[in-house]
Chain A
Amino acid sequence: MTVRMPGDEFSDNSLLDVGNLRVYYPVKVPLIQRFFQSEKPFVHAVDGVSFNLKAGEIFGLIGESGCGKTTIGRAVLRLVEATSGTIRFEGVDITHLPESKVRPLRQRMQIIFQDPHASLNPAMSIGQGIGHPLKIHGLAWLEADVRKEVLAVMREVGLTPEEQLYDKLPKDLSGGQKQRAAIARAIILRPQLIVADEPVAMLDMSIRAKVLELMLDLKEKYHLTYLFITHDLATAKFLCDRIAIMYLGRIVETGPAKDIYESPKHPYTRALLQAIPIPDPMRRAPKVLPKGEVPDAIHPPMGCRFHPRCPAVLPTCGWEARDFLDYLEERRSDPEKGREDELILGSLEVWKANGLEAGRPCEPENIAIITEYVRSVFREAPAPMAQALDDIKVKEGRIIVVFRSPAALAPKEVEGRLVECLLY
C-alpha cells in the first residue's frame, strides 16, 4: 500500500517518488546450519517505506543507526537493489532499470558520503578526483577542459587556492576540505538530486556550519533537491523542509519539519527529541527514556516495532511471546522474584517463543502450579502486556502462553503529518 500525504499526490514537481520500498539483505549462514533451517534469514533493513521529494526541497531521513536510512539513500541511487516497491525519478520507474540505463541517470543523481576520506580515491589528486565524473560520463575529454571546469567548481565550494590544491592528494587535506572535494565531485555534473548521507557527522563542530552553509548556497544556486540522511535531529531541524523519522526499517512519523519539532506525535519521535543533550547547564532536567536498545532487524518485533520500548504502549501494539520471555529475564535480575521464578518456571532456556505463543514442556503433575504461577507473573507485569494475554493453555505436554493478535497498524494523518501509531 502506498501512502501519501494528502494533497501531494504524484505530480509534475515530484522529483523522487518512493513507494512501499523494501530492501532485505540475506544473512550469511554457515552451510551446516542451512540444512537445519527451513527459513532463510533476512535483515529487514527497509520494510515498506513510502515518501516523495518535491523539486527544490530538503527532505530529511532521520533515525538511529540500523534504522535503514542509509539503505534507502543507496536504493534510490540504485547502489543496492530494492527487494520490492517502486522508485520513480522524474516520473520514470527506475526500480529495475538495467545498469546501462542507470548510468546516464547518475548524472542527475549524486551522493555525498559520511566519510570524506573513504569516498575519495587516495591515489588520485583532488583535481583528478573531482573531474573524474566528467570523463566517466563523456562530458569532457581534453585534459585542459576538465581542468578548467574542475578549477571553477573548486572555487565554488571554497577549495582555494584551487591551483595549489588541484594536485594535492586527499591525505594532505583536512576533513572539511575533503568533504568540500566530495561535494565538488557531486555537483560537477549539475545533478538535480543529491543524497547527502551524514555529510557533516565526521567533521568537528567548528567547521560543520561552513559545510552546511555551502550545501545551502549550492542548493539555491543550482536548484538542487537534497535527500538529507542524518541521525542528528538538531541539524535536520535547521536544514530540512520536511522530515521522516525512521525506526527499524519503517517511517514512524513524516511531515513538515516545523510541525514535527513543535509537537512530535509518535512516542519514538518524542523520545529522540528528549534524548538530545542540551548545551545549557541551567536547563538540566531528568529524562524519561525508552528502555533497552533497538532490536535486531532480522526478527523485528510484531505490530509496532517500537512497542517493546515504548513509554506509551497499549495492549494492542503487538505484544508477543518474546516480550514475555524478555520480561522473565528482567525479573531474574531481581534476587527474590528471580529465585522463585527459577524454582517454578525453570531455566529460561526451556521456554521457547514462537510468534504469539511462548511455551515450555511440563509434567502433568506440575500443570496447575505453573499455570497459577504464570498468572501471578502476569498480574505483576506492566498492564499493557498483561492485558494483551489471551490464554494460558496446555497442549501436547506443553504449557503455552498465548497473546492476542496485534491491531492493524497503518500511517494516519494527524495534524498535517503521517503518524504510524495506534494512539491516533
Chain B
Amino acid sequence: MLRTEDLSVHYATSRGYIHALDNISLDVASGETVGIVGETGCGKSTLGKAILSILPPRTRVTGHLLFRGTDLNALDREALRRLQGEEIALIFQDPVTRLNPLMTIQEHFLETIRAHQKVSKREALERTTAALTSMRVPESRIRNYPHEFSGGMRQRIMIALALVLTPSLLVADEPTTSLDVIVEAQILEILQDLKRNYRMSLLLITHNLGIVAEVCDRVAVLYAGKVVELGSVTDIFARPVHPYTRLLLQSIIHLDTKELRSIDGQPPDLLFPPSGCRFHPRCPYAKPVCQEKVPPLEEFRPGQSAACLFGKDFV
C-alpha cells in the first residue's frame, strides 16, 4: 500500500538544516495498522506530513514515497491533490484547529466531497449523514458549528470527514492526545472497528506506547529521525532488540510499575546529530565503535529488524 524508500527530510532554518528524518524505509500493507512511536522531536510527525506532502516550503525531501507503486514525490500538484483525501487522509491531534469555526459541519463535508467528486448535493448529503452516523454523531446536529461540540465529538467529526471519501490509508497523528482517557479509549475502539469494516490501512503516529500495544499490528520506533527498530507489536514489546526500545518500554509508568526507570540524557539537537549511532550518547551499552559507525537496520528475527551494531547480543 505505502512504502517509503530512504526517505529523508531536512528542514531549512536560519542555523542550517535540521535532519528531521534520515533514510526511513518502511511499508504499510493493505488493512494493516502500523504504529510510529518516539519522543518529542524524533521526526514522527514529520513522517506523517511527508506522506501527505504538507511539509513547509523550502524543505528538502529526498528518497521515494510510493503509494501503490506511484512515487508521490514525482507527482504534480493536481494529481497529488486528487490522491490525497480520496486515497490518503489525515487526522490531527487537535481537531479544533482543523475545522473552520465559521462553517457548519454539513458545509465541511459538502466542501470536501465536492472538491474531489462530481456528485449531486443530495448524494453528498446522504454520504455525510452516513459517515456521521457511523461515527455516532447524531444527524440532528449536522447544521451545528464546530464550537458547539465536545472534544471527543469533534475528533469523531474529523474522522468522519477523513473517511467520507473512503480512503484506503488513514494517517492519524496523535489522534487522541488532547482527549481524556475514557474518550481516548472510545476513539481507539472506533478506529479499530473502521479498520475491520473497511480493510483500511492505518498509520498511527503516537508517543503513547500503551496505545500502540492496544491497536497496532506492527510498530516502528523512531529516535532522532531514524528508525531504530521495526517489527510486530508482540515481538517488540516482548523481545525488543535495540537498547533504546528496551529502555523506552521500561520507562513507561503503568499500573503494574514497581520501580521508576528513565533514560539518562536528552534527545539530541538535530541540527548537529551525534555521529555513528544517534543513540550512543545515552546508551548504557555503547562502545567506542558506536560513535563512528552508523548501524544499518538489520533483521535479527523474522520480521523484526533493529539498527544496533550489537543487536546480536540483545536477541
> Does A associate with B in a complex?
yes
Task: Identify the A interface with B (CB < 8 A).
Answer: 64-65, 174-176, 204-210, 212-213, 231-235, 237-238, 261, 271-282, 284, 287, 289-290, 293-294, 329-330, 332-333, 338, 348
Q: List 22 A-B contacts (CB under 8 A).
A: A204-B267, A206-B39, A206-B248, A208-B253, A209-B253, A212-B260, A233-B181, A234-B254, A238-B253, A261-B255, A272-B181, A274-B185, A276-B210, A277-B188, A278-B210, A279-B209, A282-B238, A289-B186, A294-B180, A332-B139, A333-B133, A333-B136
| B205 smallest CB distance to A (angstroms) | 15
Contact (Cβ within 8 A) A271 B39: no
Q: Which residues of B contact A287 (CB under 8 A)?
A: 185, 189
| A281 smallest CB distance to B (angstroms) | 4
Q: Which residues of B contact A213 (CB under 8 A)?
A: 260, 262
Known: A233-B255, A279-B209, A293-B153. A207 touches B182 (CB 8 A): no
| B139 smallest CB distance to A (angstroms) | 6
8 Å CB contact of B182 from A205, A206, A272, A332: A272
B166-193 interface code vs A (CB 8 A; 1 in, 0 out): 0000000000000011111110110000
Known: A277-B210, A279-B249. A329 touches B138 (CB 8 A): yes
Q: Which residues of B contact A284 (CB under 8 A)?
A: 213-214
| B148 smallest CB distance to A (angstroms) | 11
* B199 at interface by CB-CB < 8 Å: no
Q: How far is the CA of A279 from the CA of B267 in the complex (A)?
A: 22
* B263 at interface by CB-CB < 8 Å: yes
Known: A174-B266, A289-B182. A273 touches B255 (CB 8 A): yes
Contact (Cβ within 8 A) A176 B266: yes
Q: Which residues of A contact B247 (CB under 8 A)?
A: 206
| B181 smallest CB distance to A (angstroms) | 4
Chain B 247-296 residues near chain A, CB threshold 8 A: 247-249, 251-255, 257, 260-263, 266-267
Prevailing SS type, chain B contact patch: helix
Q: Which residues of A contact B211 (CB under 8 A)?
A: 277
Size bin of chain B's contact surface? 35 or more
Q: A231-B180, A276-B254, A281-B233 are known contacts; what are 19 more A-B pairs with Cβ within 8 Å?
A: A204-B267, A206-B247, A206-B248, A206-B262, A207-B262, A209-B251, A209-B260, A209-B261, A272-B182, A278-B254, A279-B210, A282-B237, A284-B213, A287-B185, A287-B189, A293-B182, A330-B138, A332-B138, A348-B140
Q: How far is the CA of A233 from the CA of B257 in the complex (A)?
A: 12
B123-163 interface code vs A (CB 8 A; 1 in, 0 out): 00000000001001011100000000011110000000000
Give the residue among A206, A207, A234, A287 with the most B Cβ atoms within 10 A.
A206
8 Å CB contact of A234 from B207, B237, B257, B267: B257
Q: How far is the CA of A333 from the CA of B140 in the complex (A)?
A: 8
Contact (Cβ within 8 A) A231 B254: no
| A334 smallest CB distance to B (angstroms) | 9
* B84 at interface by CB-CB < 8 Å: no
Chain B 206-259 residues near chain A, CB threshold 8 A: 207-214, 216, 233-234, 237-238, 247-249, 251-255, 257
| A339 smallest CB distance to B (angstroms) | 11
Give the residue among B151, B255, B263 with the most A Cβ atoms within 10 A.
B255
Contact (Cβ within 8 A) B39 A237: no
Contact (Cβ within 8 A) A280 B213: yes
Contact (Cβ within 8 A) B251 A206: yes
* B40 at interface by CB-CB < 8 Å: yes
Contact (Cβ within 8 A) B181 A206: no
| B47 smallest CB distance to A (angstroms) | 18
Q: How far is the CA of A277 from the CA of B210 in the complex (A)?
A: 5
8 Å CB contact of A329 from B140, B151, B254, B261: B140
Contact (Cβ within 8 A) A293 B39: no
Q: Which residues of B contact A330 (CB under 8 A)?
A: 138
8 Å CB contact of A278 from B188, B213, B233: B213
8 Å CB contact of A282 from B188, B234, B263: B234
Q: Which residues of B contact A348 (CB under 8 A)?
A: 140
Q: How far is the CA of A207 from the CA of B247 in the complex (A)?
A: 11
| A294 smallest CB distance to B (angstroms) | 7
Closest to A290 in B: B182
8 Å CB contact of B263 from A64, A207, A277, A333: A207
7 closest Cβ contacts across the A-B interface? A277-B210, A209-B262, A209-B260, A64-B180, A206-B263, A204-B39, A275-B185
Q: Which residues of B contact A175 (CB under 8 A)?
A: 40
Q: How far is the CA of A277 from the CA of B216 in the complex (A)?
A: 12
| A139 smallest CB distance to B (angstroms) | 33
| B110 smallest CB distance to A (angstroms) | 20
Contact (Cβ within 8 A) B254 A279: yes
Contact (Cβ within 8 A) B260 A293: no
Q: Which residues of A contact B184 (CB under 8 A)?
A: 275, 277
Contact (Cβ within 8 A) A280 B237: yes
| B49 smallest CB distance to A (angstroms) | 20
Q: How far is the CA of A305 from the CA of B218 in the complex (A)?
A: 40
Closest to B141 in A: A329
Q: Which residues of A contact B253 (CB under 8 A)?
A: 205, 208-209, 212, 232, 234-235, 238
Q: Which residues of A contact B39 (CB under 8 A)?
A: 204-206
Q: Which residues of B contact A206 (CB under 8 A)?
A: 39, 247-248, 251, 262-263
Q: Which residues of B contact A65 (CB under 8 A)?
A: 180
Q: How far is the CA of A282 from the CA of B213 in the complex (A)?
A: 8
Q: Which residues of A contact B181 (CB under 8 A)?
A: 64, 231, 233, 272, 275-276
